[in-house]
Every structure is written in C-alpha cells, then in structure tokens.
C-alpha cells in the first residue's frame, strides 16, 4: 500500500493489523461504549494479512522486492470517498519470452 501523500485516515488494510496489535498489548480499558473484547471479536471476524505500507518520501525498494518475489503488482486507485475507481495490474514476465 502506498500513501501518495500524508493522510490522517488510514486504509483498513493498514489499520486492522495495527488495531489488533494495540488491542493485544494495551493495558488500557476501553470506555462506556465499547470493550476490548468486542473490538477483538470484530477484528477476528475479518482475516487480514498485514500488507506492505510505504509512506510519502520513503524508498520504493520494498515494493521491488515484493514484485520480484510474487511476480505481480496491483495498484487500486480510490476517489475521495474511498470508492475504487481504477485498477492497474503489472505482471513480471520472463524477458526471454517477450
């Protein structure tokens, strides 16, 4: 996941693993409206693998490593309301077959 500019709102694929880790490690109790247990149950309902996250200004080298290993890179563009509006799929192929 690449954030092309600084953002205050994290994508769910970025947020969910952070939230899960925080729930597991915080000694903090929640508030009157939500409990740690209910948050844990909600995050367990959706199985999300942690994704590679690159922030503005960081090196794109980690992405190169992923593409080399998995042979595919998929970019999905969203509008301001987080509605997907485009998808680009790049596949790494053997150059001798081109």
**What tens digit of pLDDT does each residue of 7-18 get?**
778 888 888 888
Domains held by the chain: number: 2
Position 17 scores a pLDDT of 84
Position 97 scores a pLDDT of 55
Task: Tell me, yes or no, whether 33 and 77 share the same domain.
Answer: no
Position 95 scores a pLDDT of 55
Q: How far is CA 22 from CA 5, 6, 28, 49, 94, in A?
A: 25, 22, 10, 16, 42
Nearest by Cα to 4 from 89, 76, 93: 76
Instruction: Check whether 96 has a pLDDT greater than 70.
Output: no
Task: Tell me, yes or no, whether 32 and 69 share the same domain.
Answer: no
d(CA 55, CA 34): 31
Task: Tell me, yes or no, whether 44 and 12 share the same domain.
Answer: yes
**For residues 69-96, average pLDDT:** 83
Q: How confident is the model at residue 87 (pLDDT cuts 50, 70, 90)?
A: very high
Position 71 scores a pLDDT of 87
What's the domain range around 11?
1-51
**For residues 36-49, average pLDDT:** 79
Beta bridge partners of 89: 74
Alpha helices of 1-98 — where are they, by DSSP H?
A: 12-25, 36-45, 61-70
């Amino acid at each position: 996941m690449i954030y092309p500019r600084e953002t205050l709102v994290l994508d769910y694929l970025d947020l969910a693993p952070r939230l899960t880790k925080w729930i597991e490690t915080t000694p903090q109790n929640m508030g009157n409206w939500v409990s740690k247990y209910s948050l844990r149950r909600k995050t367990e309902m959706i199985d999300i693998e942690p994704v590679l996250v690159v922030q503005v200004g960081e090196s794109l080298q980690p992405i190169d490593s992923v593409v080399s290993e998995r042979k595919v890179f998929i970019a999905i563009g969203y509008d301001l309301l987080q509605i997907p509006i485009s998808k680009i799929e790049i596949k790494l192929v053997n150059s001798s077959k081109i």
